[in-house]
C-alpha cells in the first residue's frame, strides 16, 4: 500500500517497487484478495481512505455496464473478473475504479482525483531483471518512463518537429531507441497511460505514410526507425474520418479517444498547445 495520493494513471506507473515482476494496481478478483486489501488498509491506513484498483472499462466507447469492466495488467492486457463488489448505482459512465473500505465496495471514478493505491506483484509474472529495465526505471524527470514486455517506453514532455523527434530517441546509451510502434491495443494502452499520467494531449508515434506521391491514405502506413528498414503497420485504430487525403502524413496518439490521428508532416510549427511530445521505445 502506497500512501502517496496520485492520479490513477500515475499510480499505474508507480508499481515498479520490485523489478522483474510487472507490478500492477491491485486486482480485487475474489474474497481472498479483498481480505488482503482490507488487512493492509487496517494496518497502514484508515477506513476513510480511497484506494485505486486495476479495474478499467474494456471498451470506453461502449456502455459502461458491469460486464464492460476488466482488471488490467501493466502491459495493457486484461482479464474479465467474476467477482465485482460494486457499490449501489455503480459502475457509472466513467473510466477508473477505487475501493472504499468504509463501505467495503468498489466505486467508478474518473482517473483525475488523487488517491492512495495498492500494487500487486505476482510470482507467475516474474521475469529475469535486465539491464534495460534497471536503467529504464532510473530515468528521471522530466522524462516519464514505463518498462513493459522488455521495452522501455519514455515520454518526452517537450514538443518537436517530427523529423527531430524521430532521431531524438537516445536517452539510454547503447540502445537504439525509436518512436513508439503500437502493434496491439495493449501497446496503445501503455502509450496512452503515459499521456494521461502527464497531462499530455497528443504524442508522436513512429508511424508514417512514406510514399510522398500517393494520395491513397488508407494503405501504405509503416512503422519507421532512424536506422532499420520500415515495417508495414497492420494495427491502425484510426479516429473516425481519418486518415484524411493529406500527402505525406504522420500518425499521433490522442489520449481522449486512445486512437490514432494523422497530421501533415509539412506544417512549419508545432506549438505547445498541440502538445506533440514524442513517445519513444527502447528495446
pLDDT in tens, 166-201: 888 888 999 989 998 989 989 988 888 888 888 888
Closest by CA to 197, choosing from 52, 86, 81, 62, is 52
Mean pLDDT of 1-27: 95
How high is the pLDDT of residue 272? 24
Label residue 237 by pLDDT band (50, 70, 90): confident
**What sign for the dihedral angle of Cα 182, 122, 120, 20?**
negative
Integer-rounded Cα radius of gyration of the chain: 20
CATH class of 2-125: alpha beta
More reliable by pLDDT, 38 or 277: 38
C-alpha cell at position 243: 486518415
Position 265 scores a pLDDT of 41
Q: What is the pLDDT of residue 96?
A: 93
Residue 266: band (very low, low, confident or very high) from pLDDT cuts 50, 70, 90: very low
> Domain 131-282 in CATH: superfamily?
Mannose-Binding Protein A, subunit A (3.10.100.10)
Report pTM. Answer: 0.84
CATH 3.10.100.10 residue ranges for the chain: 2-125, 131-282
Q: Sorting pLDDT into bands at 50, 70 and 90, what band is 238?
A: confident
Amino acid at each position: 500500500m502506497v500512501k502517496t495520493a496520485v492520479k490513477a494513471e500515475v499510480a499505474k506507473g508507480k508499481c515498479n517497487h520490485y523489478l522483474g515482476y510487472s507490478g500492477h494496481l491491485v486486482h480485487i478478483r475474489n474474497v481472498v484478495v479483498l481480505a488482503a486489501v482490507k488487512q493492509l488498509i487496517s494496518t497502514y491506513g484508515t477506513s476513510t481512505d480511497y484506494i485505486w484498483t486495476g479495474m478499467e472499462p474494456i471498451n470506453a466507447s461502449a456502455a459502461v455496464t458491469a460486464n464492460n469492466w476488466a482488471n488490467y495488467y501493466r502491459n495493457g492486457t486484461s482479464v474479465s473478473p467474476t467477482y465485482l463488489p460494486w457499490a449501489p448505482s455503480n459502475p457509472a459512465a466513467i473510466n477508473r475504479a477505487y475501493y472504499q473500505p468504509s463501505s467495503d465496495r468498489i466505486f467508478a471514478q474518473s482517473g483525475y482525483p488523487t488517491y492512495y493505491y495498492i500494487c500487486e506483484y505476482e510470482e507467475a509474472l516474474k521475469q529475469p531483471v535486465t539491464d534495460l529495465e534497471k536503467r529504464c526505471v532510473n530515468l528521471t524527470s522530466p522524462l516519464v518512463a514505463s518498462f513493459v514486455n522488455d521495452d522501455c517506453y519514455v515520454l518526452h514532455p517537450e514538443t518537436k518537429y517530427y523529423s527531430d523527434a524521430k532521431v531524438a530517441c537516445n536517452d539510454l546509451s547503447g540502445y537504439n531507441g525509436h518512436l513508439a510502434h503500437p502493434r496491439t491495443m495493449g501497446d496503445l494502452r501503455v502509450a496512452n497511460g503515459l499521456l494521461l499520467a502527464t497531462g499530455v494531449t497528443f504524442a508522436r508515434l513512429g508511424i508514417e505514410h512514406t510514399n510522398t506521391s500517393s494520395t491513397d491514405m488508407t494503405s501504405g502506413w509503416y512503422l519507421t526507425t532512424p536506422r532499420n528498414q520500415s515495417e508495414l503497420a497492420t494495427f491502425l485504430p484510426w479516429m473516425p474520418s481519418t486518415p484524411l487525403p493529406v500527402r505525406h502524413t504522420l500518425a499521433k496518439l490522442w489520449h481522449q479517444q486512445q486512437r490514432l490521428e494523422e497530421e501533415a508532416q509539412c506544417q512549419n510549427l508545432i506549438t505547445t498547445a498541440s502538445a506533440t511530445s514524442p513517445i519513444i521505445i527502447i528495446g
